[in-house]
Amino acid sequence: MTREKRVFVYTIIIGFLTHAFRMTNTMICSDSTNYLKSIGVSWVISLGRILLPTVEKIRGTVELPFLIGTICLVLIGCAAVFIVRLFPIQENLFLVIIAWILVANPVVTSIFAYMYTADGYMISLLFSVLAAYLCLKKKGLAGILLGGLCLAVSLGFYQAFLSVTIIIMLFYLFRMLYTSEYDMKEIGKMTGRCLLSGVTGIAVYAIGVMIVWKAGGHQAASYMGMDSAGGTEIHGLLQAVIDCYVDFARFYIVRWELNRYNLMNILMFLLTLITWLVLVTKRKLWRMPARVVLMALVFPLLPIVCHLFEFVSAGVSYTSTSMEYSLALVYLLLVIMWSDMRLYVFAQNHKNGMEKSEDSRETADIAGRFRWTELQYWKRHYLSMLSIVLLLCISFHFTVIANRSYYNMNNANTKVEMLLNRLVMRMEMTEGYHEDMEVAIYGSCYETPEYVPAAPMMSGVVSNIFLTQDNEYIRMMNHYLSTSYGRADFEMKCQIAATEEFAMMEPWPSENSIKIINGTMVLYLSDTDVDQYLPQEE
């Protein structure tokens, strides 16, 4: 079986083992209460995700966890194939690590919290990888244009995967710098190709957005400062650089605690640096200081590349992992360097007559034969073995994080269902009740979410009641309990809040927390934000 087929199969198998619980259960987060029947065409187009609504035309408007999850795993598997084609990675353990990291990392888990749109996001991922692959591997102008077109498609589904394309290109150029067969002129030309392809893709996407917005009467949403993009001043740019480094650290060192997740990530970065130094030494790259300096510049560039949208607008904030898939690719740099290192050592030994083989299989397969029973092998390859073991531990911990997250999310959904049942039962016992009446909800039963310990903060994956808005409560009641409640508007809620009957109400679960006022069912859940409906003193 070829390495492409192997990494694809590994991705599918590990993906099912990691995400099976999520794929076989219906779970709703706060955001998905807005998209119980549709992903909201107008809203996502205003966000610039002009191609995302096409997903509904293929698989419908209903969230189908198993179907969507399976589609996502196949898409991630295809992305893994193109990544493996870019780098000469042959050894089975390395392929397993690549598949595991790509399909089980916390960004995928976070996106699966929003299963109603996860397949669209993963289409974006695949095209972002394909954009890099075509630009780097297909020669001539065709590679530049096709890569740019794929990047435009990726941006049309979800803009955050732009950083994935750049990271892959950056790692490819990094590898060219430590590979003697490429001279600086070739590296310069490849850098130019990457820049030209990227500019082409962004330009095509920008033109496409303008056309779609003009035709449909849309405009940029104010969400995360998208409507103010491009207005950042010098002071804002400096702050954006700082924010890039803070957000980068926040993903790998969560809550600044000493735990195994943080410790493994610190060891990963340390081993990456050591591996790079060993590579520079073994290949005698210190004789070419320009290359060493350029390679060294890659490391401080990573936080900026991974958080490019910090520069788009001051309103952009990486508050969850959904925008940060490129951070998961950072783990692959260690795999890429060790794979090249082992191939280099094998080639040197073979050249010197120290290793000979009549095996006609690929060179990397020969180099990758593990002699686990030989102590001498462990002594000679302790750094690579340590890196492999560490990356396997990190990968396995990703699977643990995913399942703990899904358990917590399922727990949150159970709590919400129980709360909604109690509320509706009390409503039905109120004299004058009917199932299609308008409902006015004040406050909420929201509790501070308890995210998974020792993991990046993943929005949508919580362990407590997560509904905060009255429209969320009403949508969930209608969805789960087959009711048809309407929502009282702001003016009606102000009128009700001014009555003496409302003034006598007490927060849930007291007996008078639910009553009918002016023909409207009133639920007084808490005093949170109630002041906005009360008469204002002049």
**270-307 residue pLDDT tens:** 999 999 999 999 888 888 999 999 999 999 999 999 99
Question: Which residues in 283-317 are b (16+ Cβ under 10 Å) and which e?
Answer: bebeebeebbebbeebeeebbbbbbbbbbbbbebe
| Residue with more model confidence, 440 or 349 | 440
Q: How confident is the model at residue 447 (pLDDT cuts 50, 70, 90)?
A: confident
Q: Output the pLDDT for position 235.
A: 56
Q: What is the pLDDT of residues 58-72, one digit of tens each?
A: 887 778 899 999 999
441 pLDDT band, cuts 50/70/90, is very high
Alpha carbon distance, N-terminus to C-terminus of the chain: 78
Task: State residue 359's pLDDT score.
Answer: 39
**Domain assignments of the chain as residue spans, ordered by start:** 3-401, 412-533
* pLDDT above 70 for 205: yes
Confidence grade of residue 161 (pLDDT, cut at 50, 70, 90): very high
**Does residue 455 have a pLDDT over 80?**
yes
Query: Could you give the C-alpha distances from 428 to 96, 438, 474, 501, 514, in angstroms and in order?
Result: 55, 13, 15, 19, 10
pLDDT tens-digit profile of 318-361? 777 889 999 999 999 999 999 888 776 655 655 555 444 433 34
Percentage of residues of the chain with pLDDT beyond 90: 61
- pLDDT of 24-62, one tens digit each? 998 888 888 877 766 655 678 888 899 998 888 888 777
Nearest C-alpha neighbor of 453 from the set 107, 106, 100, 108 = 106
pLDDT at 319: 74
pLDDT of residue 5: 95
Percentage of the chain with pLDDT > 70?
90
> What is the overall mean pLDDT for the chain?
88
Q: CA–CA separation, 151 vs 128, rounded Å? A: 6
3-class DSSP assignment, residue 522: strand
**pLDDT of amino acid 436:** 87
**367-412 pLDDT, tens per residue?**
444 454 555 555 667 888 899 999 999 999 999 999 999 999 999 8
- What pLDDT sits at residue 353? 55
Residue 365 has pLDDT above 50, yes or no: no
The pLDDT value given to residue 143: 96
Q: Which residues of 36-72 are buried (b: 16+ CB within 10 A; e: fewer)?
A: bebbbeebbbbbbbbbbbebbeeeeeebbbeebbbbb
**Residue owning tokens 């289409």:** 123
Between 123 and 360, residue with greater pLDDT: 123
